[in-house]
Amino acid sequence: MSDITGYKVGGLFVETCKPRQAGARKNPIIFVHGGCHGSWSWEKFLPHFAEAGWECHALNWFNHNGSDPHPKNDLIQRGIADVVEEISLVAGQFDAKPIVIGHSMGALASQKFAEQNALAGLVLSTSVVPSEVGGAKIDVPVDFSRPWGPPPFEMAMQLFFQGLTEEEGRHYYALLCAESPRAAYEATRWTVSVDKTRVSGPVLVLGAELDVLTPPSTSRALADFYGADYRFIRGRGHNLLLEPGWKETADLIIDWLERSVC
Q: Return the pLDDT at 251.
A: 98
Q: What secondary structure, in 3-state letters, does 81-95 show?
A: HHHHHHHHHHHCCCC
137-171 residue pLDDT tens:
888 899 999 999 999 999 999 989 988 999 999 99
Q: What is the average pLDDT across 238-257? A: 96
Question: What pLDDT sits at residue 119?
Answer: 97
* Cα angle value 128/81/92 (rounded, 5°): 115
Q: For position 22, what pLDDT does the model report? A: 67
The average confidence (pLDDT) of the chain is 95
42, 54, 140, 200, 237 from 18: Cα distances, Å: 14, 7, 39, 27, 29
| CA dist., res. 197 & res. 167, Å (int) | 44
* Averaged pLDDT, 169-185: 97
- State the Cα–Cα distance between residues 126 and 124, nearest whole angstrom: 6
pTM recorded for the entire structure = 0.97
pLDDT of amino acid 92: 97
Q: Are the C-beta atoms of 94 and 30 separated by less than 8 Å?
A: no
38, 7 Cβ separation under 8 angstroms = no
All structural domains of the chain: 5-260 (3.40.50.1820)
| Cβ-contact 206, 123 below 8 angstroms | yes
Interatomic CA distance for residues 156 and 253, integer angstroms = 26
Over 90: is that where the pLDDT of 253 sits?
Answer: yes
Mean pLDDT, to the nearest integer, of 175-190?
A: 96
Per-residue pLDDT tens over the stretch 44-101 = 999 999 999 999 999 999 999 999 999 998 899 999 999 999 999 999 999 999 999 9
Task: Give 23's pLDDT tier (boundaries 50, 70, 90).
Answer: low
Round to whole Å and give the CA distance between 45 and 29.
Answer: 11
Which residues lie across from 14 on neighbouring strands? Answer: 7, 59
pLDDT band at 229 (very low <50, low <70, confident <90, very high): very high
Q: Is 167 exposed, middle or buried (0-12, 13-18, 19+ CB in 10 A)?
A: exposed
Q: Amino acid identity, residue 207? A: G
pLDDT (0 to 100) of residue 2: 78
